[in-house]
Structure 1
């Protein structure tokens, strides 16, 4: 006589009723499906079977033909219909010669391995942290690093969560990230953000492939830089404003009226006197870098943009006068241009721009406005005017520490061009003094200052 099958009504009758010992109730179709009833009345669905031929357990032991019960869930958390469906899936595996319990164990182990592997994969936040660390190692300024970090928090993480695995970031994600600044009209910000993202992912790929990181617990698993497939053609208008010698003289003479703080005027004057060095490098300069007796500003490689070697800047007489005035004002300790409220930090990055705007506002209020320019235009101005008085382009490139590139310049040319830079700064000193005095620039004297005398030295007599 066939056994009566398991029904929902029967399960309700069995549930919660205590008994002397556990029993099993079987379905009536002989499939091996049933429910185990504990002494306390707890119900657990199961599928009974014999292990197929060739089955081994987790320790590698042969368990062919072993009687096994596979748990399918507790009632009522698992319904009868759900339990029957699980039992059917188990029987289908058995028909294919697969032990369903060993199959489930292998799947669980594979899931755990994938989970561990995924936990070891670096996140997008990790890529950003690696990039910021790399910039600190290269000596980038605190302001620059802060700006990059702010860009990630403002435009990247709100679009792609910081805990996203780096290898899961797709070009479509990069498109959405860049759309954020573009949608508010910040084209330049989008271009800079794309460049930073590209460098960050490139660095992550290099970190994974670096043999020195072979034992690293964290891998980014970035197979392809997702930024490469997202072009961003943003039209950037290069600056073209350069001041004439007459305008340089006006800036020098009126600089004291830019702001109420004397050191602000000295910053503008020193930018001009030193021939247009990088604003950031001068803004963050410290007194130990300057040797007025030797007449040089020694900028360590880690402190400037082109980090191949130290950069030496000759100090001409005009720059020396400004530095002496600045030393008397600030005490000659720490930063040349400290913050107004915190002498232990350099002048803020936005301060030079504010000084120039203050100067332009003063000139306009006096009824003698000057065509708008920015603090960044000083470098272009000095380079252009230097060429005007005959200083060769090669010399101005060395004076401004431009990267010449190429194997020869990077590895083999160790000449410091100090003599050429000295003569260039003497010629610039002559031109600048004339501009400050409101006089025509004596180009002949400037060009003479660039010549060597018969003994191979600079013709110093023309400077007086």
Structure 2
């Protein structure tokens, strides 16, 4: 049996037999064998359990379902178990037996499998709750009574296209969530192959280097006015305004809590202290709160206090409340859904018709407020390092990571106050938005 480095380069250049298979052994892990078939490469680890003279075979999945690099990782992990006295093949068989027992006794459907998955998901990724939201909303309800092994590639592709029709970006997030879920299900022997294999993301996302959607001054004013006049819960409206004035990520604003706020009664000291667990870079971020943002937050607190008193219940933990009784805070996707309702409903024939047409032709997402804030501060002459500090972008060098602990709080406050004054000037009409006034409106 020839020995060769079993890597992805090998998988690309190896000659495939017309029928049957050719077997190879890895030159670094002699117990790892790969059978090359016309359309796949099947890996396995052959070993003797501690105290046994009989060899066993532990399957490592197959290429191209997984990469050869992943197959090597699995081989090394299984070999490590063998060296520690474990028997990976016996463990796998025990899992299979238990799964068969569960299916026989309780008919484990997709809903039951998702319930088993979520505790594991929490250990796999920090943003696991977002995955859970997509799976609950767009998978559990639709496939609730289907046995996981009967879900097909066509089922997954169709579900993604349905979601993409109403929420293109959410469809891509659902794609990632389903892919990870079914990979876990394969690893845990609940299914033999993932139905997401070969299913591509339904929506073409922004290319690397392409700038996020940025609102012009005129678009910002029109969208702000539309948000003010649209029918929505007060917490939603306030969250949009806070997004526009702070440049924070939508989920960070949606989840803003009372515990994160300090010094609201002192306009020169008011801050929001975001813990590392709520930040993308997993680093604590202190955001200065400008007077307009403080007013927005205080209005929401007063509103919630009045509602809590009237309903004889405790005050909610979060500033921007949800309309759902079982949820104390706004969901990130609720902001996106709200914009998707507001923008198409705008009148493209009115005084701001040209601006409305631009918004409808290239509709912004809630994240556009972040890009608009960053770009606007640049136009106002705010230094780059101060803009990065406002956006909580981490400097990726040794000094920033280990030695420079300065939070640029004063500089961030100056930057955000300049941006708040600019937005206020646009909304009050003191500043020109640069929009072209239609002739008929000018004559009127």
Pick the TM interval, shorter chain: 0.5 to 0.7
| Contact residue 153 and residue 197 of structure 2 kept, 8 A | no
The aligned runs of 1:123-138 (5 Å cut-off) are 128-129=114-115, 132-134=118-120, 136=122
| Contact residue 138 and residue 163 of structure 2 kept, 8 A | no
The alignment yields a C-alpha RMSD, in angstroms, of 4.6
The aligned runs of 1:25-174 (5 Å cut-off) are 116=94, 118-120=96-98, 128-129=114-115, 132-134=118-120, 136=122, 140=127, 145-153=132-140, 161-162=147-148
Query: Offset at 1:296?
Result: 0.8
One of 281, 298, 301 as aligned partner of 1:324: 298
One of 155, 160, 173 as aligned partner of 1:192: 173
Q: Aligned partners of 1:190 and 1:231: how far apart in 2? A: 12
Deviations 1:339-377 (A, max 9, x none): 346386223545434554447736658653423334422
The aligned runs of 1:286-325 (5 Å cut-off) are 286-291=257-262, 292=264, 293=266, 294-304=269-279, 306=280, 308-325=282-299
Which runs of 5 or more structure 2 residues have no equivalent in the other structure?
Answer: 1-89, 101-107, 307-314, 434-444
Q: Aligned partners of 1:439 and 1:195: how far apart in 2? A: 46
Larger radius of gyration: 1
Deviations 1:78-123 (A, max 9, x none): xxxxxxxxxxxxxxxxxxxxxxxxxxxxxxxxxx999645224699
Deviations 1:387-440 (A, max 9, x none): 222234443333223466677765665443434322321221232222222233
- Structure 1 match to 2:237: 265
Which runs of 5 or more structure 1 residues have no equivalent in the other structure?
Answer: 1-111, 206-218, 443-464
- Structure 2 match to 1:462: none
Deviations 1:265-320 (A, max 9, x none): 3333222122x21222222222232222331111222233x152222211112212
Is the alpha carbon distance of 1:221 and 1:419 closer, same or farther for their aligned partners in structure 2, counting shifts above 3 Å? farther
The aligned runs of 1:270-285 (5 Å cut-off) are 270-274=242-246, 276-285=247-256
| Contact residue 272 and residue 287 of structure 2 kept, 8 A | yes
- Structure 2 match to 1:236: 204
Q: Aligned partners of 2:431 and 2:172: how far apart in 1? A: 43
Is the alpha carbon distance of 1:116 and 1:221 closer, same or farther for their aligned partners in structure 2, counting shifts above 3 Å? closer
Q: Which moved more, 1:314-323 or 1:138-147?
A: 138-147
Q: Aligned partners of 2:335 and 2:294: how far apart in 1? A: 21
TM-score between the two structures when normalised by the length of structure 1:
0.52
- Structure 1 match to 2:319: 336
| Contact residue 155 and residue 180 of structure 1 kept, 8 A | no
Q: Secondary structure at the match of 2:219?
A: helix
Deviations 1:112-171 (A, max 9, x none): 999645224699968755653255566648565222234443678888x33x5xxxx9xx
| Contact residue 198 and residue 225 of structure 1 kept, 8 A | no
Higher RCO (CA-CA < 8 Å; seq separation 6+): 2
- Structure 2 match to 1:352: 335
One of 355, 377, 380 as aligned partner of 2:371: 380
